[in-house]
Structure formats: C-alpha cells, structure tokens
Structure 1
Amino acid sequence: MDQETLLKENRTKLKEFVLLDFAELSHLQWFLFGLFLIIYVIIVISNGTIFLLTKIDPALQSPMYFFLANFSFLEICYVSVTLPRMLKNLATQRRRISLVACATQMYFFFVLGSAECLLLAVMAYDRYVAICNPLHYPLVMNYRLCVRLVTGSWIAGIPYQIGQIYQIFSLPFCGSNQINHFFCDIPPILKLSCGDTFVNEIVEFIGASLYVVVPFLLILASYSKIIFTILKLPTATSRAKAFSTCSSHLMAVMLFFGTGIISYLRPETSHPEGTDKVLSLFYTILTPIFNPLIYSLRNKDVTMALRKVQYKLIHSFKE
C-alpha cells in the first residue's frame, strides 16, 4: 500500500478532533466553569444593555451610537462562537468536536473577528470626522454611508473565509487529533495536517494582513490626526477630557489587535506550548468584557440613558 493510499485512509478515519482546552487543569474544572460562565454572562448583559439603550433612547441616535450598537451586538456574537462550547467541555469533560462543527466554529470566529477589526476602523474614522471636521460631520457621516460601512464590515470577510476554511479542511489529517486550544483555530489545526500547508499559511498571512494589519494602521492614522487636533484645543480641561477618551479607545485597540497580530503574523519559531491559547484569551474574552466599559459606560450620554431606564424600572415596580 503506497503512502498516498495510507493518507487517504487515515483522513477518512479522522472524523473528529479533541479540544484539549484546560485538560491539564482538570482539578480546577468547576472553578474555571464558574469563572467563564460569569464572564460570559457579564459580556452578554453589558453589551446587550448598550445595544438596547442605543435603540430605545432618542438621545443615542447619532452615527457614533449606531456603530456602537452594531459593535455591542457583534461582541455578543463573537464570544458566543467559542465560550458556550468551552463551558460545555468544562462541564462534561467531553472535548470531542466533529470536523463539520470545527469548520463551522472556525468560519464564524474569523468572519466575526474580521468584522470586529473593520468595525473598529469605521468607529475610529467616525471619531476622526467628528473631531477633525465637526462642521462637515452631519454631511459626511449620513445615514446611507453609515449603513454601507456597517454592512461592509459585517460581510467583507465572508467570501475570503469560505475559501480559507474550505482549503484548510481539504487537507489530509492523520495521526493525532488533539487540538491544544479551547476552540478550532487555524495554527493548531494546520499542525495536525500531514499534507503540505505552505499555501494555507500564505493564505492565513494574507488574511491577517488584510483584516487585521490594514484596519489597525487606519485606526492609528485616524487617532494620530485626532490627537494632533486635540493638541490645538484652547483649554487644558478639554484637552485632558479628549485625551482620556482617546487613550481608553487606543488601549482597547492595542490589546485586541496586538494579541491578534502576534498570534497570526509571528514567524513559526520555537515558543512555549500553549502560547497561542493564552494569547487568544485576550482577544476572545478580555477585550469583549472591557469594551463596554471603555467605549460606553464612561460616556455621559450612555450613563444618562441607563439612569433613565433604571428610574423607569424602579417606578414601574413601585406602582
């Protein structure tokens, strides 16, 4: 039997993967389950609250809050691709995932991740126009353009990811089926293939460059212009307020994009086992939990809208 026939037979036998996630910490199974469940609930409630506030409060109907509503909804979708399965694995200790389920999870993870990168760039552009060209802001950021920018952000990654995921799962897989990760990510899946992955790695590099590096550079360019404009403001108070907002946004962007760039664009050199898993916790879990605080809850309009809802709820219960 030749090597090609063996590869084909092995590939047909491999119908599922095993996500190792935190198998080495099995003694902390229920602690980790409780911790990640709390994190998931906080992410869904905080982002869901912001999404609802932007829909019901008349004061939150500007382009900035239109983008923020989409961003909050996107964050809920993004974490829902990975966290529920991780919670299920922790609770049941059954870590098997079929090839179809793995490909589906990978597809939605990267489509939504691409959308988040692009939407963050759109939000930075919105702030650039608002601060650097305030007189032209209503004309430039009209409703039609806002809808097009958001729609483009949501769908831009779809065709590319369909091609990339199809290409990855067309590879022959043989030998070990254990993925040292808590979700189906590209680098650990490619490591399990016994075929030539050079083309896949090039496609991954191009995708990361298009959907991560380019938006990141656009964000940096927008905020550079914003900071330059802020420095021209007449009072120290207004400068400090604007810098506070910009620094918070940039911190969130640096955390999300920084860990993403390191994960998908670093060279394949020797690094500690599980590094990708640790890095991915930052952009899949930590940024979605901090983003509502950074982008919304420090905003006076959002906090006022939240107080109005709380006031109405308290009075409705009293009645």
Structure 2
Amino acid sequence: MDQKNDSSFTGFILLGFSDKPQLELILFVVLLIFYVFTLLGNTTIIVLSRLNPHLHTPMYFFLSILSFLDLCYTTSIVPQLLVNLGGADKSISYGGCVVQLYISLGLGSTECVLLGVMAFDLYAAVCRPLHYTVIMHPRLCALMASASWLIGFAHSLLQTVLIFLLPLCGRNKLDHFLCEVPPLLKLACVDTTRNESELFFVGVLILLIPVTLIMFSYSRIVRAVLRMKSAAGQRKAFETCGSHLTVVSLFYGTAIYVYLQPSSNYSQDQGKFVSLFYTIITPMINPLIYTLRNKDVKEAIKKVLWKDHGSR
C-alpha cells in the first residue's frame, strides 16, 4: 500500500467539526451527557433482562443483545470523538483507524441483521402465539443471534480490507469525526467506482433485505392484530411493535442515507450530522423507546426499585 511506503504517513487527522470551533465545546458537553445516558440506559436493559424471570423470553433476549451492541458501538466511537473535540490533537493512528472502522462497522452491521431477527420474533409472537415457544426455541434464538454477529463482522472485514487496500498517496485529512467508509473513499487517489458499486451492492444486502423482511413481517402482524377480539391484546401488540418499528425507522433511515446514496450526492457536512444521529443519538434513545412504551420493562424497573427500597 502506498501509505505504508510513505515514511511520513503516521495516521489520519479527523477534521470532524474543526471548521465550526464555536460548536465543538457545545458538542463535547452534549455528547458526553448522551454517552453517559447511553451507558446507563442500555446497562439497565441488560441487567433487568438477566435479573427478572418475567423477561427471560426471546424478545428480551434479543433486546439485551441490542443493548449490548449499542453499548459497544458508541464506545468504539465516542471516547475518541470526545478527545478530538476537547483538545487540539485530532489525530488517530493508522492502526487505530483500521480497528475503529472494523469494530464500529461490524457492530452496526450486526445491529442491521439483529433488527430483522427481532421482527421475525415479533411475527412469531403475534401471528403464531400457540406455537411461539416451539418456533422460538432457545437454540434457534442463539443460532440467529450468532448468525447476526457472524454476518455483521464478515461484512465489516470485507469493507475494511477493501478500503485500506486503496492507495491514499499520503492523503491523511479525513473530513469526518470517525473512520467510516464513505469519507475514507474520498481520500483514495485512484478511481473508486468499483468500490462504490461494491459498497452499494453489499449495502443493499445488509440494509434493504432486512428492511424488506421487516416490512413483510409487519404486514402480517397488522393483519393478525386487527383480527384480535381483545382491545387490550391489540393495544399491547401495537405498543410492542411500535417500539421496534420506531427503532427500525431511526436506525435504517439514517444508515441508508449515508451508505446507499450516490457519492456525487453525498454531502460531507450532512453526512457527519447524520452519522452523529445513528452512532450516538439512536443508541441513547433505544432504551427510552423500549422502556417508556413497554409495560413489562416498566414493571421490572418498579420491582427492582421497590426491592432496593424495601431492603433499606
């Protein structure tokens, strides 16, 4: 690789929001608060799913995995971003950039697949309630979760290898706050048409196929819910599905904007703010969406708080 042959190449400069210095301090404070809430919210979901026997179901098994993914995802990005926002040094080593891209893209891709798996779980719960425990066997749940991780990190490995095989010819100023594929492609000093086509094709597989399966599942779910005679059952089903659909819309909508639009239409400034949304804001609000709209989780929180209060 050309960058390795250049002895002066030591890493990348993450320009981030350096063109808006008045915004950096505000972003530092806001993102630090968001990061703390992300850690607290997702850790709460994981702990509740482990401690409360009523949450030992496939739905909360996948929800706890989603929370763990969000914890790791933001941690692979936010600490480096806070360091860059809080100081003059905005550099990241070559190896650090490779690792950040591989881990963050792997976790994000895994979440794409997992949200599709969660839609299948909802379909089985609503449309096949009598056979739900047979369909969503613990072994199948573990297999689907493992497949999500495998597909996600296989995709990340492919993209990471392809992007860092491109010659950069000494270019190291990355107009972004993290090592991500679209801005890294812009550093290449060769024609990247093939890479962009490959990125679009794989992006369709990782993003649009799960979205299509989710929409198909929800079409069946809505039909099943409307046939329910119990108003309470309809309300519970819509609340549960509404939480998942909200998460899906936020995550996929922003990811599709970044990865599936033509590079000629890609705005670097817009891309940075959209990336902030799906890498930081969405992982923070996921626990709120699932807890505020989920009666079981709210009851579990009350029991834990009441138990702690009663033990004093």
TM class by shorter-chain length? over 0.9
The total of aligned residue pairs comes to 312
Contact map agreement 1:67 1:123 (CA 8 A) in 2: yes
Give 1:228's match in structure 2, choosing from 215, 220, 223.
223
1:115 aligns with 2:110: yes
Residue in 2 that maps onto 1:313: 308
- Where do 1:49-88 residues align within 5 Å? 49-88=44-83
Query: Could you list the per-position Cα deviations for residues 222-259 of structure 1 after superposition, in whole angstroms to 9, with x for gaps in the alignment?
Result: 11110111111224454344334333322221121111
Q: Which amino acid aligns with 1:303?
A: K
Q: Which amino acid aligns with 1:293?
A: L
Q: Which amino acid aligns with 1:291?
A: N
Contact map agreement 1:173 1:194 (CA 8 A) in 2: yes
Q: Say which is worse superposed, 105-114 or 194-203, in terms of deviation.
A: 194-203
Q: Which amino acid aligns with 2:162?
A: Q
1:137 aligns with 2:157: no
Q: Say which is worse superposed, 131-140 or 255-264, in terms of deviation.
A: 255-264
Contact map agreement 2:176 2:183 (CA 8 A) in 1: yes
| Structure number with bigger Rg | 1
Query: Percent of pairs identical after alignment?
Result: 44
Question: How far apart are residue 210 of structure 1 and its match?
Answer: 1.6
* CA 119–181 in structure 1, closer or farther in 2 if over 3 Å, else same: same
Contact map agreement 1:164 1:203 (CA 8 A) in 2: no
Q: In the aligned structure 1, how far is the partner of 2:77 from the partner of 2:14?
A: 12
Q: Which amino acid aligns with 1:13?
A: S
Give 2:89's match in structure 1, choosing from 86, 94, 118.
94
- Where do 1:83-232 residues align within 5 Å? 83-174=78-169, 176-232=171-227
Gaps of 5+ in 2: none
* CA 235–109 in structure 1, closer or farther in 2 if over 3 Å, else same: same
Gaps of 5+ in 1: none
Q: In the aligned structure 1, how far is the partner of 2:287 from the partner of 2:215?
A: 21
Residue in 1 that maps onto 2:36: 41
1:29 aligns with 2:24: yes
Contact map agreement 2:49 2:56 (CA 8 A) in 1: yes
Q: In the aligned structure 2, how far is the partner of 1:198 from the partner of 1:131?
A: 44
Question: How far apart are residue 177 of structure 1 and its match?
Answer: 1.9
Query: Could you list the per-position Cα deviations for residues 255-278 of structure 1 after superposition, in whole angstroms to 9, with x for gaps in the alignment?
Result: 211111121111122454412111
Q: Say which is worse superposed, 60-69 or 204-213, in terms of deviation.
A: 204-213
Residue in 2 that maps onto 1:246: 241
Contact map agreement 2:37 2:284 (CA 8 A) in 1: yes
* CA 248–63 in structure 1, closer or farther in 2 if over 3 Å, else same: closer
Q: In the aligned structure 2, how far is the partner of 1:273 from the partner of 1:202?
A: 19
Q: In the aligned structure 1, how far is the partner of 2:267 from the partner of 2:156?
A: 28
Contact map agreement 1:40 1:79 (CA 8 A) in 2: yes
Question: How far apart are residue 289 of structure 1 and its match?
Answer: 1.4
Question: How far apart are residue 67 of structure 1 and its match?
Answer: 0.8
Q: Which amino acid aligns with 2:309?
A: I
SS in 2 for 1:116: helix
Contact map agreement 2:122 2:241 (CA 8 A) in 1: no
* CA 8–309 in structure 1, closer or farther in 2 if over 3 Å, else same: closer
SS in 2 for 1:24: coil
With normalisation by structure 1, the TM-score equals: 0.91
Q: In the aligned structure 2, how far is the partner of 1:186 from the partner of 1:54?
A: 34
Q: In the aligned structure 2, how far is the partner of 1:186 from the partner of 1:257?
A: 17
Residue in 2 that maps onto 1:296: 291
SS in 2 for 1:17: strand
Contact map agreement 1:10 1:173 (CA 8 A) in 2: no
Q: In the aligned structure 1, how far is the partner of 2:7 from the partner of 2:215?
A: 47
* RMSD of aligned residue pairs (Cα, Å): 2.0
Question: How far apart are residue 10 of structure 1 and its match?
Answer: 7.3
* CA 213–270 in structure 1, closer or farther in 2 if over 3 Å, else same: closer
